[in-house]
Structure 1
Amino acid sequence: MKFLILILISLSIFGCERPPIETRDVSLLSSVDHYANELLKDSRFRSVSIGVYKKGEVFTKHYGELETGKGNKPTDTSLYELGSVTKVFTGLLAAKAVLEGKIGLDDDVRKYLEREYPNLEFNGKPVRIKHLLTHTSNFPNFPIKGDNKEDFLVGLSEINIESEPGIKYSYSNTAPELTAFILETVYKKSYDDLLQEYILNDQSMIETKFVDNPEQLVKGYNGHGELMPNFERRLWGGAVGLNSTTPDLLRFIKLQLDDTNNMVSESHRDLYQINKALSVGYHWYISDEDNILSYRHHGGIYGMQNWIIIFPKHDIGISVISNASFDGVGDSLEEVVMGIFKRIM
């Protein structure tokens, strides 16, 4: 009987259903409320989910309704598309591979490709691993052939490198897909398994995943109120395709603020300087504007946009997601994050 009671107590404490995340920080709560309500004054935004990690405390809150008139407010279980925020997960796995000697930042990417790609160089200067991570490979933004993995590899042979790699910043979704393929090659595991084994399982991010059934996902809208399709993954998912919840993103933020984690520290290393205030690490953008250091990335897809911004010197990280995508959404969401941060400093 005592053993049964202990089991019941354990289940009540550690059961699968997670309690809501709350805060007693009045300043934090009022700041989040203020900026969320200001955002929703624009009727093109239906809802917004905000998560804040502050010095060990985590807090989530959701506003609006996912579909106009239905009253279905987002929750901690709402599964959002992360868009290009997927790239920082790829960058973290690449940092692990570098630390373990599986790949080298200065390696010619062709070292890991079975076919011959004489085109992946300019005047004898090859595309290197670090160029894939920093958007300096001169690869096109979107794959020349992206319907499936085999076509993607064929399409690599049609890329025209028009200037020396590593010199010019030019955003590319093609490059992180190749990175994911290379990671699969060196670890002899699928990209999905690498994410699970080395990031998601360790951080108890059980809701973060690629999904085949779009019915599991929050639906997104454009600026005209039209329902937009969810993204369909056809490649590895190194550039886009991950989905997550606000609580899981706070677990990822907590990981990113762990300066004792060598993999994390490596992923934040400055690899390419864009301008005086902005550089790129392993897909993280490293900003040092107005003497405020932050690691940041924006994600956008057909009907959804989000920002994740981390302030390591203050032990603070913020995630904001909305199921709206139109010109200016990214800027508006960034203003929400920066506004909350400055108020709770």
Structure 2
Amino acid sequence: MAALSAFPFKRQRMQATSMMVRNGRWFSCFVLSVALLAAGCTGKNVPAKDPGADIDEVAATLIAQPLLHSTSIGVVYRGQEFIRHRGDMEAGKPGPPTDATLYEIGSLSKTLAGTLMAKAVLERKVSLDDDVRRYLPGDYPNLQYQGAPIRIRHLLSHTGGLPNMLPEQANTVLEDFTDQRTPRELNAIYARYGKADFFRDLHAVGIGQAPGKDYAYSSTGTELVAHVLETVYKSDYESLLRGFFRDSAAMADLKIRLGDADVPRLAVGYHSDNAVPTTPMPQLPWGASGNVKATVPEMMKYLKFQLAGGPVVTESHRALVKFDSEFSIGYFWNIISGDRQKGTYYAHHGGVPRSQCYIYIVPKYDLGIFVITNQSGDHTARAMETAIDTLVERIAAREDAGGQGQSR
């Protein structure tokens, strides 16, 4: 629940990914369909006068999809920056999102946690091969399989065999994500669920096979990463998060928990086909797996930080598990290789019951894309992925034509 990536239908797509990429069809597997939006199937591959015009067109097409009220798109392309806000946050009420709007970015939060862990590894605070029990309070003989323990690298690559969510009751609720009762039931589960409850439930987890072999998406593992970081740095996770990205990427407006002054800035959002706005996602024990909030300008800084490289980013992009020649996982990043148009790129999906988003880092074009909507349903991810694919096609056509356009 910490992100739509943790919901069952998304989890099944991800688990199937490594099989499908062998046939060169990762994209179609990931979105369950090869259907294209109108903007992407009209053959309009001739570059517009500048990339901003392409983004305008893609944004307009995206919010024309059923149930999508609004979108914000941020693009960094060879040093040029573009932000577009389109549509109305609330149906029937004029009011587009703005640069000040705080969005719930769901499981994109995981890539931030992965970056912090990459820093810890480079600083030798943590080893990727450490047994996670080294950092846990108390004894956890259950966190191993026939003597093979869950290691830090397994948490980062979703190969530890841990459940998607703790408590396990949340996974049952998420089996029918689109049910209109889902947000309310999740809120009830997490209303008073803290770190002590998490560690209590962790004692009951069973590991059914040797860690490190199979993909099983786990927000539980990301929450454990946050605990490990708190342990080695002797500071709370949100302070670590905000301090590092403020100093390294000038991101001064990242938040996990909101103060009273920030609440009015939080984006309104809709769950599935419910016409009534739903509540924000509940707070998880650490929040590393899906509670980060950010504005689009902050995410632009994150795109630039990722594209600039540097030791920490380079480490976070390093493949920790290679499922086949085309699909790997780094420090929570999905790494896709062999795509003719995109080259090797890094991607992650995020979502909560009232928003979904994507981030793509495409080094081939010095390109970063962040797309977010304030609606979360079965078809939202597909619409956003198609929008991103259309943008990349336009960028590729621009480069083939030998022009990069001018920012505006």
Matches of 1:155 and 1:149, distance apart in 2: 10
Whether the aligned pair in 1 keeps the contact of 2:362 and 2:368 (CA below 8 Å) is yes
Task: Quote the residue 1:296 is aligned against.
Answer: 347
TM norm structure 1: 0.90
1:1-12 equivalent positions in 2, closer than 5 A? none
Partner of 1:314: 365
Q: Give 2:163's match in structure 1, choosing from 136, 140, 164.
A: 140
2:73 match: secondary structure: strand
How much has 1:335 moved relative to structure 2? 1.2
Judge conservation of contact 1:27–1:343 (CA < 8 Å) in 2. no
- Give the match's secondary structure for 2:50: helix
If each structure's helix is expressed as a fraction of its own residues, which one has the higher value?
2
Which residue identity lines up with residue 52 of structure 1 in the other structure? V
Note the aligned Cα RMSD (angstroms): 1.4
TM-score by length of 2: 0.76
Q: Residues 28-67 of structure 1 correspond to what in structure 2 (within 5 A)?
A: 28-67=51-90
Task: Look up the match of 1:6.
Answer: none
Q: Distance in 1 between matches of 2:284 and 2:330?
A: 26
Report if aligned partners of 2:245, 2:252 keep a CA contact under 8 Å in 1: no
* Aligned residue in 1 for 2:280: 230
The letter of the residue matching 1:115 is: G
Contact (CA 8 Å) 2:59, 2:84: kept in 1 or not?
no
List aligned pairs for 1:153-302, cutoff 5 A: 153-212=199-258, 213=260, 214-224=263-273, 225-259=275-309, 261-291=310-340, 292-302=343-353
Q: Which runs of 5+ in 1 are unaligned?
A: 1-24
Q: Distance in 2 between matches of 1:245 and 1:275?
A: 35
Indicate the residue corresponding to 2:45 in structure 1: none
Aligned length: 320
Deviation at 1:58, TM superposition (A): 0.8
2: CA distance between counterparts of 1:231 and 1:287?
29
Quick one: distance in 2 between partners of 1:185 and 1:122? 25
1:200 and 1:329 map into 2 onto residues whose CA distance is 31
Q: What does the per-residue CA deviation read over 1:111-142, in whole Å, with 9 as the maximum and x for residues that have no partner?
A: 11120000000000000000000000100000
Which digits, 9 at most, give the CA deviation of each residue in 1:171-217, with x for residues without a partner?
00100000100100000011011112211343221222123354331
Shift of 1:222: 2.4
Alpha-carbon distance in structure 2 between the residues aligned to 1:100 and 1:201: 16
Asked if the contact 1:136–1:166 (Cα under 8 Å) also holds between the matched residues in 2, the reply is yes
Tell me if 1:78 matches 2:110.
no
Higher relative contact order (CA 8 A, sep 6+): 2
Query: What is the aligned partner in structure 1 of residue 406 from structure 2?
Result: none
Q: For the residues of structure 2 that align with 1:244 and 1:196, how far apart are their CA atoms?
A: 11
1:20 corresponding residue in structure 2: none
CA contact (8 A) 1:46 1:67 kept: yes
Cα distance in structure 1, aligned partners of 2:338 and 2:379: 21
State the match for 1:99 in structure 2.
122
Q: Cα distance, 1:88 vs. partner?
A: 0.3
In structure 2, runs of 5+ residues without a counterpart are: 1-47, 169-189, 397-408
In the alignment, the residues of structure 1 paired with residue 166 and residue 71 of structure 2 have an alpha-carbon distance, to the nearest angstrom, of 31
Which portions of structure 1, spanning 4 or more consecutive aligned residues, are displaced by more than 6 angstroms?
A: none
Instruction: Please give the per-residue CA displacement for 1:22-41, whole angstroms capped at 9, x wherever unaligned.
Output: xxx83312211221111122
Could you tell me whether the CA contact under 8 Å between 2:116 and 2:241 is conserved in 1? yes
